[in-house]
Structure 1
Amino acid sequence: MDKPGPKERILETASRLFHQQGYNSTGINQILEEAKVAKASLYQHFTSKDDLGVHYLQVSRQEWFAGLDQWTGKKKSALQKLLACFDFLEYAMQQNGFRGCKFINMLSEIGDTSPVMSKAILEHKARLRNYLKAFIQDALTSQSAATIDLTGDAIYLLFEGAIVESKIYKQPWPIQKARDMAKLLLSQR
């Protein structure tokens, strides 16, 4: 197997550090030192720390949806697929030590200082919302569009809230409860 090049080492190191210690607490010099890359290599591949942050968010989004697809792809019904999203979330949160959502964490650090990163975060959340809503639409085929939309948003908010609460408590129970509530919401329709 080939040794990762400078760009890959920079991105892997930045991704690990951004998620473990935060974007604002991670300096370029630390990334370069741990990636064993010269500063010239960094600016050859990334125009700024914000550009590196955007790449981090893009890679995180690809990994997130690949994981979701893997977990939901094994299920047959729309309800099973939706519930598998919560199962994947529980697994992912346990794997990352209950550090929370990379996107929410990044937004809480950058605020309005980086429109390009804010846009990447919003795109991720919109895609996740639509991803969940697609399963809800398939599960509630006999319901009105308004009911499907409202139920979809309720379940999306349960999902997002479960991320935050799971991070706070450093336990999976908020995700498990949100999963149960999502199942109950769909069974009552």
Structure 2
Amino acid sequence: MSKSGPRERILETAARLFYTQGYNNTGINQILEEAKVAKASLYQHFGSKDELGVHYLKAGREEWFGGLKKWTSAKNTPVQKLLACFDHLEYALQQHHFLGCKFINMLSEIGESSPLMSKEIIEHKGKLREFMKGFVTAALQGKPADEIEMIGDSIYLLYEGAIVESKIYKETWPVKRSKKMIKALLADT
């Protein structure tokens, strides 16, 4: 455990437990015990488990985009940057033992029970879709807008599908196959 304050310890512990054992399977008492903080600290800093879940998702988005930007900034062309998104995904899936996407995992647990967490999930996925479409748009300059839109969404859906299939199979072949499909889609660029 780090030497951080109660707020940080609660968030670090909750993030680890939510991701590894699930949001619904993680109780407040377990978080407090493992974070070594009093119950009053949770309510002082977060107010509720749902609010803690929102902070977990926000921190997850910052972390994910930090990694994506690091991997894509090392590349030169839009296609290389797009493929780097998938390289980052492959790396992250392996690092996290194929536990999948924390946003998809959370949505599968909460359903429609938490509008605030649902909003965070939708914002994350929308930002990811636009981030990737930016590279597609740059790669396909001069092509019709509807073609760019269709290819951009196809690549985004390949990314999302690769996450789920990699979790199922505990293998990176879905990411590798998606990269081959992207190269075929963008072969003319």
Q: TM-score, normalised by structure 1?
A: 0.98
Aligned twin of 1:161:
161
Aligned twin of 2:6:
6
Shift of 1:186: 1.0
- Aligned-residue CA RMSD in angstroms? 0.9
Q: Which amino acid aligns with 1:29?
A: N
The 4+ residue runs of structure 1 with deviation greater than 6 A are none
Shift of 1:183: 1.5
1:15 and 1:108 map into 2 onto residues whose CA distance is: 16
Q: Which amino acid aligns with 2:137?
A: Q
The 5-angstrom pairing of residues 112-127 of structure 1 reads 112-127=112-127
Aligned twin of 1:58:
58
CA offsets, 1:17-51, max 9 Å, x none? 00000000000000000000000011000010000
1:60 and 1:92 map into 2 onto residues whose CA distance is: 12
Shift of 1:182: 1.2
Q: TM-score, normalised by structure 2?
A: 0.98
2:184 and 2:142 map into 1 onto residues whose CA distance is: 17
1:92 and 1:49 map into 2 onto residues whose CA distance is: 26
1:73 and 1:110 map into 2 onto residues whose CA distance is: 34
Shift of 1:157: 0.3
CA offsets, 1:59-93, max 9 Å, x none? 00000000000000000000000000000000000
Aligned twin of 1:92:
92
Q: Which amino acid aligns with 1:10?
A: I
Q: Which amino acid aligns with 1:140?
A: L
Shift of 1:188: 4.5
2:162 and 2:9 map into 1 onto residues whose CA distance is: 32
The 5-angstrom pairing of residues 143-158 of structure 1 reads 143-158=143-158
1:79 and 1:183 map into 2 onto residues whose CA distance is: 8
1:8 and 1:134 map into 2 onto residues whose CA distance is: 34
Gaps in structure 2 of 5+ consecutive residues: none
2:34 and 2:126 map into 1 onto residues whose CA distance is: 33
1:104 and 1:187 map into 2 onto residues whose CA distance is: 31
Q: How many residue pairs align between the two structures? A: 188
Aligned twin of 1:180:
180
Shift of 1:3: 2.2
Task: Give the SS at the match of 1:187.
Answer: coil
Mean CA deviation greater in 153-162 or 174-183: 174-183
CA offsets, 1:153-185, max 9 Å, x none? 000000000000000000000111011111111
Q: Tell me if 1:42 matches 2:39.
A: no
1:138 and 1:168 map into 2 onto residues whose CA distance is: 33
Aligned twin of 2:79:
79
Aligned twin of 1:20:
20
Aligned twin of 2:171:
171
Q: Which amino acid aligns with 2:145?
A: A
